[in-house]
Amino acid sequence: MTTSGTTTTSGTPLIALRDIGKRYGNVKALGGVTLDVHAGQITCVLGDNGAGKSTLIKIVAGLHQHDEGAFAVEGEETRLGSPREALDRGIATVYQDLAVVPLMPVWRNFFLGSEIRKGRGPFARLDVSAMRETTHRELLRMGIDLRDVDQPIGTLSGGQRQCVAIARAVHFGAKVLVLDEPTAALGVKQSGVVLKYVAAARDAGLGVVLITHNPHHAYLVGDRFVLLKRGTMAGSHAKDEIALDDLTRQMAGGSELEQLTHELAR
């Protein structure tokens, strides 16, 4: 692993991974991965397909447990047993294929699984007005101005749906927000909108983990960059320690890319 510098952030990280490893049978999917996530910072995890990004997400989200290394949440070493346990510890994961019900209104998706109710016992019912008002208010607080939270969420653009998911995580008390390739299927303009709200989540005090294979998007918002290659760390850099061109070159394989360029030139 090559590392150019150390983090200057003080205080206990919201989550800290030390030499994390994961095996599936005889296949080593991840090994020796170390990263810290601090409040008010965006840590970008970059790598091509097969680099180990998905495995890392599953460990942080509580879907899988690590086989090697140590995983600490706010200084307490832990092994997350489920996504619900991760949520209870303040870790919210927004996947690329968003878990939304397209024909349901925006407000219903916002509160899906955490509905507000009024009344008791057999007289309990959904507090629709409270959920509508809260959804609109929380979206506005993140800078998202939807005219009508009653519209089906499936009518929103991919970027808007990502932004609703980010606002939902902030509202329900997430301390760490893990974003799985949020701009992968979006155009240039929509990608910019999503990155704006990723930065808004950081400014709201969350620790953000942005998983991406796009170094340009990462460099726009990232504070630290962790590079993965074939399941191992290929580098860890603070933003002021590396230029975009160098980040892109390291992610693309450096000498391997140069060799391929020469071969194509011939």
Q: Looking at residue 21, what is its pLDDT? A: 92
Instruction: Kindly report, residue by residue over 122-176, the tens digit of the pLDDT.
Output: 888 999 999 999 999 999 888 888 889 999 999 988 888 888 999 998 899 899 9
113 or 222: which leads in pLDDT: 222
Q: Looking at residue 257, what is its pLDDT? A: 54
Encode 38-76: b = buried (16+ Cβ within 10 Å), e = exposed.
Answer: bbebbbbbbbeeebbbbbbbbbbbbebebeebebbbeee
pLDDT at 240 over 70: yes
Q: With bands split at pLDDT 50, 70 and 90, how would you rate the model's confidence at 260?
A: low
Q: What is the mean pLDDT of residues 59-71?
A: 93
pLDDT at 254 over 70: no
Q: Which domains are delineated in the chain?
A: 3-100+176-265 (3.40.50.300)
Instruction: Kindly report, residue by residue over 16-27, the tens digit of the pLDDT.
Output: 999 999 998 888
Q: With bands split at pLDDT 50, 70 and 90, how would you rate the model's confidence at 2?
A: very low
For residue 67, the 8-state DSSP code is S
